[in-house]
Structure 1
Amino acid sequence: MKADSTPCAFPASKRESGDERRIAVASAARQIIVEKGLEGLRTRDIAARVGINIATLHYHVPTKEALVALVAESIRHDFRTQAMRHPRVGKTGLEQLHMEFDDFRETTREMPELIIILTELVERARRDATVAEIVLPMHRFWRGQFVDIFRLGVADGSFRPDLDPEAGAMIATGALSDCWRRPDTSPSMIEQALAELERAFIRKS
């Protein structure tokens, strides 16, 4: 199932008009980041796409940092929605790893704009401490999910008993992030990378 391409920063089914406006602002900002990069993000362009004036835009996102935070929250919501479609409860470590890989495939195939936006945000975070405070917790959470998967897999026998969950998570997220950052990575190369990752972690019979 393909995630809605329009970001939703709030999961409630009934929203106030202010929430709808913030969703529209996040959507416009994401479109501009995809088209022009984070450096090309201008408040006047966002306001024009949403159909509001600058004063109204600043009411909802008074600073550039608030705008980046809103975009990041919309991305988190997209990933939460994706995860909720594929519950992990009761799954083995290996099954959960397969589900993470399936989510990765789905994102690269059906939500490529998320990859572009995340790459832009991560690159900016390297030189902007304010953006780093917003973006890096998302990456730490993602890595933490892999840590939990590897701990579970070691305990249930899915993975090598000598596997270090923290190191394994760093390897997995690093490899997947590299696939994201390389626009020339083909689907077949992604499949090869995922297969190699699995072989590195699973317990040999």
Structure 2
Amino acid sequence: MAVLAQAAEVAARQGLGALTIGDLAARTHLSKSGLFAHFQSKEVLQLDVLAYARDRFVDEVIRPATRAPRGEARVRALFEHWAVVGRQGHAECLFVSAAAEFDDQPGPVRDQLVRDHRDFIDSIAQMFRTGIAEGEFRPDADPEQFAFELHGIMLGYFHAHRLLQDPRAGERTRRAFETVLADYRIAPPPAEPDSAESPAPAVAAARS
């Protein structure tokens, strides 16, 4: 596990494609032959690193979010935990960088990345569906569209925070998130007029 943690850190900073068994051996002070016997190939190493990062992301983001009450609270918990991971540069950064790195490179690594991203989008959509079921989001809302919009917001956050080092990245991201939520939230019923303010016209006429 410690070897994979080191490998994930290297991959998040330098790219999954730059990760090699030789480099990992040097960093961990382990024999190259021993690591090669374990991983068999660079591709297997890359896939194992993705599996490690995926498990870590589930532990740090998805599982804590599912402990929140169903509905908007759960969606908010997902956003909050996801933002923390983005600030700290953990697993999500690896998935974002690897997606750009392998988007046009067919093969097992790209296939696994596609599955991981689709599974996560499905998880977001399912959390949003609980909000519809709880009567907190519009019944005609599209969960997949919400997942798409939230994912886009978070990708923008990682770009602004890590590459541009925008000090207002968090503030802008939260504003975008609140705007999207407000668009999907069920509007409160209009307030009824206060009958105590003035009598109805017919009653007023009868009293005159």
Q: What's the TM-score once normalised by structure 2's chain length? A: 0.78
**1:39 Cα offset (Å):** 4.0
Q: CA 1:135/1:95 → structure 2, altered by over 3 Å: closer, same or farther?
A: same
Q: Report the AA paired with residue 92 of structure 1.
A: R
Q: Report the AA paired with residue 39 of structure 2.
A: V
**Aligned counterpart, 2:170:** 187
Separation in structure 1 between the aligned mates of residue 22 and residue 152 of structure 2, nearest angstrom: 36
**1:77 Cα offset (Å):** 1.7
- The structure 1 residue matched to 2:67, chosen from 68, 76, 88, is 88
Separation in structure 1 between the aligned mates of residue 124 and residue 116 of structure 2, nearest angstrom: 13
5+ residue gaps, structure 2: 189-208
Once the two structures are aligned, what percentage of the paired residues are identical? Answer: 22
Confirm or deny: 8 A CA contact 1:147 1:166 kept in the other structure.
yes
Q: What's the TM-score once normalised by structure 1's chain length? A: 0.79
- The structure 2 residue matched to 1:123, chosen from 93, 97, 100, is 100
**Aligned counterpart, 1:75:** 53
**1:139 Cα offset (Å):** 1.0
Confirm or deny: 8 A CA contact 1:93 1:149 kept in the other structure.
yes
Instruction: Compare relative contact order (CA 8 Å, sep 6+) and give the higher one, 1 or 2.
Output: 1
**Aligned counterpart, 1:27:** 5
5+ residue gaps, structure 1: 1-22
Separation in structure 1 between the aligned mates of residue 179 and residue 134 of structure 2, nearest angstrom: 21
- The structure 2 residue matched to 1:134, chosen from 102, 112, 120, is 112
Residue-pair matches, total: 181
**1:181 Cα offset (Å):** 3.4
Separation in structure 2 between the aligned mates of residue 38 and residue 84 of structure 1, nearest angstrom: 25
Q: Which has the larger radius of gyration?
A: 2
Separation in structure 1 between the aligned mates of residue 96 and residue 30 of structure 2, nearest angstrom: 28
Cα RMSD (Å):
2.0
- The structure 2 residue matched to 1:143, chosen from 105, 116, 121, is 121
**1:155 Cα offset (Å):** 2.0
Separation in structure 1 between the aligned mates of residue 119 and residue 30 of structure 2, nearest angstrom: 35
Q: CA 1:175/1:86 → structure 2, altered by over 3 Å: closer, same or farther?
A: closer
Q: CA 1:154/1:84 → structure 2, altered by over 3 Å: closer, same or farther?
A: closer
**Aligned counterpart, 2:44:** 66
Of stretches 59-68 and 75-84 in structure 1, the one that deviates more from structure 2 is: 75-84
Q: CA 1:59/1:125 → structure 2, altered by over 3 Å: closer, same or farther?
A: same
**Aligned counterpart, 1:13:** none
**Aligned counterpart, 1:48:** 26
**1:86 Cα offset (Å):** 4.7
Q: CA 1:104/1:188 → structure 2, altered by over 3 Å: closer, same or farther?
A: same
Confirm or deny: 8 A CA contact 1:147 1:165 kept in the other structure.
yes
For each residue in 1:68-103, what CA deviation from the matched residue of structure 2 results, as whole angstroms up to 9, or x when unmatched?
A: 1111111122122224445437x2311111111111
Confirm or deny: 8 A CA contact 1:119 1:181 kept in the other structure.
no
**Aligned counterpart, 2:76:** 98
Separation in structure 1 between the aligned mates of residue 94 and residue 121 of structure 2, nearest angstrom: 18
Whether 2:179 is the aligned partner of 1:202: answer: no
Q: CA 1:112/1:84 → structure 2, altered by over 3 Å: closer, same or farther?
A: same
